[in-house]
Amino acid sequence: MSFRIKIVIGLVVIQLLLLLILVWSSLNFLRTSNEVELSNYASSTASVLASTTRPAVLDRNKDALQSLAYEILAHPNTAYVRFRDLEGVLVEVGDPVALARPFEEDFLVEDVSGKGHLSQAVGGQLRHSIFIPIE
């Protein structure tokens, strides 16, 4: 093998390594930015839901909470809605299988092997849970 061919092969290998590093870092950036946006979306949705339901939870108005729960349940990919206070569950509607599972908070999006809700799929679909304390 001539020196010229060795140089060309070496350059091709270096370019392939740099391309792999570029693709890997780009995919990592996309994954991270998507996780941040998902977390921001969940937080803003939770804040709106908490401010909407605060008067009904504080007054323990189960009729108002039940009507809100059915409105929320009408959104796609919502398995269940549960409103609770310090004394226990006020209203819960939705899939009985999903309601039977205890709430366990997920801290990482990629936590699919732990005990969190993301790993406990209902009907083979991923699910996410939001727990909102009202102070």
The residue assigned the tokens 């908070």 is 105
Is 125 inside a domain boundary?
Answer: no
Is 24 inside a domain boundary?
Answer: yes
pLDDT tens-digit profile, the chain (135 residues): 899 999 999 999 999 999 999 999 999 999 889 888 887 887 788 788 888 888 888 888 889 988 988 888 888 777 888 887 778 788 888 888 888 877 666 666 665 454 544 444 555 555 555 555 555
Is 29 inside a domain boundary?
Answer: yes
Report the phi/psi class of residue 88: left, alpha or beta, with left for phi > 0 and alpha for psi in -120 to 50: left
Is 134 inside a domain boundary?
Answer: no
Is 9 inside a domain boundary?
Answer: yes
Amino acid at 59: D
> What pLDDT score does 131 carry?
59
Contacts of 117 (CB under 8 A, 6+ apart): 101, 103, 104, 106, 127, 128, 129
Is 118 inside a domain boundary?
Answer: no
Report how many domains make up the chain.
1
Is 115 inside a domain boundary?
Answer: no
> What pLDDT score does 94 carry?
87
Domain that holds residue 41: 3-100
Instruction: With residue 110 as reference, give the H or E element that holds it.
Output: none
- The overall pTM is greater than 0.75: no
Closest C-alpha among 121, 117, 119 to residue 130 = 117
> What pLDDT score does 117 carry?
46
Is 110 inside a domain boundary?
Answer: no
124-133 CB burial, b ≥16 within 10 A, e <16: eeebebeebe
